[in-house]
Structure 1
Amino acid sequence: MTGSERFLCADAARIRGDSMVGTAPHGFAWVLIEYRGGWPANGFEGLDLEPETKALVFSAARAARARVLLVRRHGRRRSEGPRHWAVLRYENSGAHRQQWGTWSGDEDLAEIAGALGAPGELGCPPVVLVCAHGQHDTCCAVRGRPVGRTLSERWPELVWECTHVGGDRFAANVVVAPDGVYYGGLDARSSVTAVEEHLADRIHAEHLRGYTNLFPPQQAAVAAVLGRFGPAGRHDYVVTETSRDDDQWRIRITGRPPHPTAFEVEVRAHRTPPCQLTCRGPATGSAVDYEVTSIRAG
């Protein structure tokens, strides 16, 4: 690369062949705050909001281990009218819960703290989040915004652009919440296919980064099962047992008919050579790859 060329982390990751399996951040709750102005590089933390309200939301989200994301509709830059906020919560039973509200003044966001402690409502449609946080990473804008536009044209009520979700080098990244499913390496065409199949409860291994209720080696194990036996519903496979020996894991998974009923997956972790992992972070670092070494029925 010459000095005049721009480094793009997603391009570099594809050239290296970086694996995205097992890279979904662990978590069960999301706080969405519609913000139509410019997004700071550090998202919600960088907003100039009323200090007490901001601190209340931040501390409540941290206590609930919720990820706070700024969101906006693609291409809509109107400034008038109330903005939305939401608390989305994943439950292992599949009975995901949501609570929505609106805010005009900063103090209205204090309601988020109460919503994080409330059960929330059932029966709401999932939310499709597309990372388009260009101030955080160039690839999130270059690759994320075209995906945001395409998905918004197809599902205008479900899709929001959002701030950093993690894994810039896997842009374009899409998160379906509160299902807690991360997809990466998407473009306009593949994103429509992935979301369409997801909404039909058919999750494919291709482009899957992982399920946020699972830890990285468990995510890799489930993705391997989907790759071997084909797409399945979000809760068709369940991790029932995990054991670790140094950098290797043995993970037992059970499935619901018509899928295989039980098998063991062995996963090995190893560190990649140091490289530049993000567009805006010139320092080199290494990542952890999770390699599935065997899948055995029984």
Structure 2
Amino acid sequence: MTAPGRFFCADAARIRGDSITGTAPYGSVCVLIEYRGSWPANGFDGLDLEPDTKALVFSAAQAVKARILLVRRHGRGSREEPPSWAVLRFEGLGAHRQQWGTWSRDEDLAQIAEALRAPVVLGCPPVVLVCTHGRHDTCCAVRGRPVCRALSERWPDLVWECTHVGGDRFAANVVIVPDGVYYGDLDALSAVTAVQEHLAGLIHAEHLRGYTNLYPPQQAAVTAVLQRFGPAGRHAYTVATASRASEDIWQIRVDGRPPHPAALDVEVHAFRTPLRQLTCHGPSMSRAVAYEVTSIRAH
């Protein structure tokens, strides 16, 4: 799948056996901007947009800690309708909100700032994002594009290519919003299975990086519960409490909705990995934080 003699971070991560658990970036709001041209390596930040509008969108997104992603349909075929933008917000137990619009001029994107203050639409179908941002990391394109092709053939109205979502070494990465669910280490076959199960209301521990409304140790706890007791819906389990027993030990209380276990105490050990090259284009060596669940006990 990849050329010999070159370093590919996703290949290296698989050889090392890097864990994907607890690696979803935290955040509950996502901004999508359809941009059909070439994506800069730094995504939205690198776009040559009207300065005042760009600053307005950026500051509005910062105010609610929203992530801005550029998106496009797979294949980049010519399209007559104007490009889209969207604000997607995760709220509570399934009250996910979306607001969509279109833009023809840079100034039209100012609508995003207003939508970030009060997106009101409920009941829209989820959006499936596949990171294919090759200018940011080679593995995202090499592994992401075949996955996006397979998903787009199955769900053409739901699936978009997107810019960097984090975790290059876990490519192919798929994010389902506004559900806020990250999947990684996917290929075309496993991606179709994961998305199909997700849309049917079941999330499996395999390939799950985490839920974006939870912090990494909490993500690890919920993933371990799914692995122990089987796949479940997005809101089948909630984190009731989380506390640090020591510098590297977390105690997480996970509550389940019937018919799932009602209350579970999960112990999570956080530790730093050895120095590694974690991205294709970043030659510097870094340590990552990994999580290991050491016990799950009924409360």
Q: TM-score range by the shorter chain?
A: over 0.9
**Is 1:207–2:207 an aligned residue pair?**
yes
CA contact (8 A) 2:265 2:297 kept: yes
Who is 2:161 aligned against?
161
1:287, 1:267 → 2: CA distance?
A: 16
Who is 2:115 aligned against?
115
Q: Which amino acid aligns with 1:258?
A: P
SS at 2:11's partner residue? helix
**Is 1:235–2:235 an aligned residue pair?**
yes
Who is 2:222 aligned against?
222
Please give the residue correspondences for 1:142-153 in structure 2 after superposition, counting only pairs within 5 Å: 142-153=142-153
1:77, 1:52 → 2: CA distance?
A: 30
Count of aligned pairs: 295
**Which consecutive residues of structure 1, in runs of 5 or more, have no partner in the other structure?**
none
Identical pairs, percent = 76
1:52, 1:79 → 2: CA distance?
A: 28
CA contact (8 A) 1:22 1:219 kept: yes
2:34, 2:119 → 1: CA distance?
A: 22
TM-aligned CA deviation for residue 289 of structure 1:
0.6
C-alpha offsets along residues 128-165 of structure 1, whole Å, 9 cap, x if unaligned?
Answer: 00000000000000000000000000000000000000
SS at 2:145's partner residue? helix
Q: Structure 1: which 4+ aligned runs deviate by more than 3 Å?
A: none
Q: Which amino acid aligns with 1:49?
A: L
Who is 1:185 aligned against?
185
CA contact (8 A) 1:81 1:104 kept: no
Q: TM-score, normalised by structure 2?
A: 0.97
Q: Which amino acid aligns with 2:47?
A: L
2:81, 2:195 → 1: CA distance?
A: 29
C-alpha offsets along residues 251-272 of structure 1, whole Å, 9 cap, x if unaligned?
Answer: 0011011111111000011100
**Which consecutive residues of structure 2, in runs of 5 or more, have no partner in the other structure?**
none
2:188, 2:82 → 1: CA distance?
A: 30
Q: Which amino acid aligns with 1:239?
A: V
TM-aligned CA deviation for residue 246 of structure 1:
1.1
Who is 2:286 aligned against?
285
Q: Which amino acid aligns with 1:78?
A: S
Who is 1:265 aligned against?
266
Q: Which amino acid aligns with 2:250?
A: W
Which has the higher mean CA deviation after the structures are superposed, 273-282 or 70-79?
70-79
CA contact (8 A) 1:208 1:223 kept: yes
SS at 1:12's partner residue? helix
CA contact (8 A) 1:87 1:115 kept: yes
1:166, 1:77 → 2: CA distance?
A: 27
Q: Which amino acid aligns with 2:94?
A: G
C-alpha offsets along residues 37-65 of structure 1, whole Å, 9 cap, x if unaligned?
Answer: 00000000000010000010011001110
1:191, 1:227 → 2: CA distance?
A: 18
SS at 1:54's partner residue? helix
TM-aligned CA deviation for residue 79 of structure 1:
6.0
1:79, 1:254 → 2: CA distance?
A: 46
Who is 2:93 aligned against?
93
CA contact (8 A) 2:98 2:124 kept: yes
**Is 1:56–2:56 an aligned residue pair?**
yes
TM-aligned CA deviation for residue 94 of structure 1:
1.0
CA contact (8 A) 1:22 1:209 kept: yes
CA contact (8 A) 2:140 2:171 kept: yes
TM-aligned CA deviation for residue 80 of structure 1:
4.6
Who is 1:105 aligned against?
105
Q: TM-score, normalised by structure 1?
A: 0.98
SS at 1:284's partner residue? coil
